[in-house]
Structure 1
Amino acid sequence: MISSRRSTTQEEKPQASWLQPEELARLNSLELRARGVVEGFLQGLHQSPFVGYSVEFSSHRRYGPGDDLRHVNWKVFARQRKLYVKEFDAETNLNLYLFVDASRSMQCRVDGAMTKHEYASTLAAALAWMAMKQRDAVALGLMDDGITDYLDPSAKPGRWEECLKLLAQTNAQPVTALGKSLEQASALARHRGIVAIFSDLVDDTSAVERGLVQLRHRGHEVVLFHTLDPCERRLTQKGRLRVVDMEGAGQLTTDVEGIRTAYLRRVDTWCAELADICVQQGVDRIELTTDQPPAAILFDYLVRRST
């Protein structure tokens, strides 16, 4: 895959007692991006169909002494002159497990507005915020050479801030072991729920498949946000290009026009293989690039889920 590192600067904000200025700047930037995604999403959709507590109608039964009159079905009474009350099934709050790839390949930024890790972290933080507002428990793990950091599911106050702090970390390992990470995620996600994975999936495809199989075997609903830089997906550059191995020491300078056809064919084949795996395992795969507005990504996907 084509990767390139581009340095960025962020305006530092006043220091907090528990963070250094540069850490606080990353944290505040992530919070602003995540809130912006949620606000943009909510402009078009006022209630998320993704997670949340709800009470759904189940059946009717004959009215008995002490039953709440608010649950009487008066339309049935008008037709049959008999009192029936509605029964409801309460759906318990969900566990939302978020696993974000924090390996060095996710630091790539060529044409995107953010690095892949910043983009993935923004989406993860936005989903965590939405889940917390709906009283769902949120868990978060970072992946590189396995799960390096993990927060157990919790709906307690302050969980979103804990997620932001973890997502703002920048101690990526030089090696990706995504298959190993997904297998560990399956062991950590002990209670059935929704597992959202944010990664560029730059690893052995068969290892990724094994990890997804384990998650599905445990009964989780799995959503895969396949995150790429526009240059990785479409090779948008022209002329001479220096390719840097983000997880090694290799570099290569090449002419884009000389490799474009073969490169795009390989990427298309790779994405199609991943798509087939996800279809076979019943996993929702959302392919996205970091030049797409995050709010639009969430809106389009969550609307599709609700239909």
Structure 2
Amino acid sequence: MTASLSPESLQQIQRLDLRARMVVRGFLQGLHHSPYHGFSVQFSEHRRYNRGDDPKLIDWLVYAKTDKYYTKRFEAETNLIGYLVIDLSSSMGFTESQSMTKFEYATCLAAALTYLMIMQQDPVGLITFDQSVHAALPARSRRGHVGDVLAKLTNLKPSGSTDLPASLTQVAAMLKQHSLVILFSDLWPSDDPEKTWQQQVDETISALARLRHAGHDVIVFHVLDAAEVEFPYDGPVQFTDAESGESVSVDATGFREDYLRTLAEFRNAYRDGCNQLQIDFVPLDTSMPFDAALTQYLLQRQSMF
């Protein structure tokens, strides 16, 4: 992992395009010194040789460099349409440290993925949502489209509440071609008093199932603040819900064990539901370097071919 992949190292850089370029550059350099050595070649134009493939298609120059067998992909095999689907709810603007907010972390990761997809001439589009889906950028693969996506990301601000199941159902209805849907969200349930968080998780998993049944591949990047994962509080603390504005006072010391147990159950419920649908579920927090998330994208892309 290089320093450029750390959120802290990017804090002083205000421009999203520079942040994203640093992340991508550091990540691609890191591939050459990792267990994924040679994977960047495969990601670009090749796939691993499988039993039954025509040996005549083996690229021997790549074999000489990587000591692994790869075959050249045909033009049609490499075409992948990707959609970045980003949660705009107020809770995504939360931070308890000097690091990035969840929203900043998600948009930086989304910007880096935009560069990677355009580098591979893969069309990429952008969809944002809170209680419903907002105007989307269509998927394009031209280099100038990077600027369109990054300009849109730069001007976005998290606000209001969200309805994740309804928004994902809208996304499923919008997409007509086989696509890779990349969701960025904290997945926090709404404050609906008539529904438990388990019920809301089930509704979201059902909405994700609609995407899968429509033939789309999905990655869920579950982005939380480091404080939401670690709960570094002691004594009396007043918490305010970012979406409803309601406040509650708790004894953080006595509450920590219950909170961490519930958080683990919450994440496991999503992980299990996604696993059943063959959806990649990637838990992240705002202190984590970006390489783990980018590697998951590359692995998912590989599995589609």
TM-score range, shorter chain: 0.7 to 0.9
1:94 corresponds to 2:64: no
Partner secondary structure for residue 257 of structure 2: helix
Contact 1:51 1:94 in 2 (8 A): no
In structure 2, how many angstroms separate the alpha carbons of the residues matched to 1:139 and 1:187?
15
Aligned length: 263
In structure 2, how many angstroms separate the alpha carbons of the residues matched to 1:255 and 1:148?
39
Paired letter, 1:32? L
In structure 1, how many angstroms separate the alpha carbons of the residues matched to 2:26 and 2:19?
10
Instruction: Name the counterpart of 1:133.
Output: 119
User: Looking at CA atoms only, which structure, 1 or 2, has the larger radius of gyration?
Assistant: 1
* 1:138-157 paired onto structure 2 within 5 Å: 138-157=124-143
Relative to the length of structure 2, the TM-score reads 0.77
1:291 corresponds to 2:287: yes
Partner secondary structure for residue 155 of structure 2: coil
Instruction: Name the counterpart of 1:248.
Output: 244
Contact 2:83 2:182 in 1 (8 A): yes
Structure 1's 306 and 138: CA in aligned 2 closer, same or farther, altered over 3 A? Answer: closer
Q: Which has the higher helix share?
A: 2
Relative to the length of structure 1, the TM-score reads 0.76
Poorly superposed stretches of 4+, deviation over 6 Å: none
Contact 1:141 1:150 in 2 (8 A): yes
Contact 2:233 2:253 in 1 (8 A): no
Contact 2:47 2:302 in 1 (8 A): no
Contact 2:20 2:108 in 1 (8 A): yes
1:211 corresponds to 2:207: yes
Structure 1's 198 and 50: CA in aligned 2 closer, same or farther, altered over 3 A? Answer: farther
1:108 corresponds to 2:104: no
Q: Which has the higher strand share?
A: 1
* 1:206-285 paired onto structure 2 within 5 Å: 206-285=202-281
Instruction: Name the counterpart of 1:36.
Output: 22
The Cα RMSD (Å) is 3.1
Q: Per-residue deviation at 1:244?
A: 1.2
Partner secondary structure for residue 241 of structure 1: strand
Structure 1's 273 and 296: CA in aligned 2 closer, same or farther, altered over 3 A? Answer: closer
Contact 1:34 1:123 in 2 (8 A): yes
Structure 1's 180 and 244: CA in aligned 2 closer, same or farther, altered over 3 A? Answer: same
Determine which of 33, 54, 59 is the counterpart of 1:59: 54
Partner secondary structure for residue 54 of structure 2: strand
Q: Which runs of 5+ in 2 are unaligned?
A: 1-10, 33-38, 60-70, 190-199
Q: After superposition, what is the alpha-carbon deviation per residue over 1:115-157, rounded to whole angstroms, capped at 9, x for unaligned?
A: 0010011111101100001100001111211211311111123
Q: Per-residue deviation at 1:242?
A: 2.3
Paired letter, 1:263? Y
Structure 1's 261 and 35: CA in aligned 2 closer, same or farther, altered over 3 A? Answer: same
Instruction: Name the counterpart of 1:15.
Output: none
Q: Per-residue deviation at 1:108?
A: 0.6
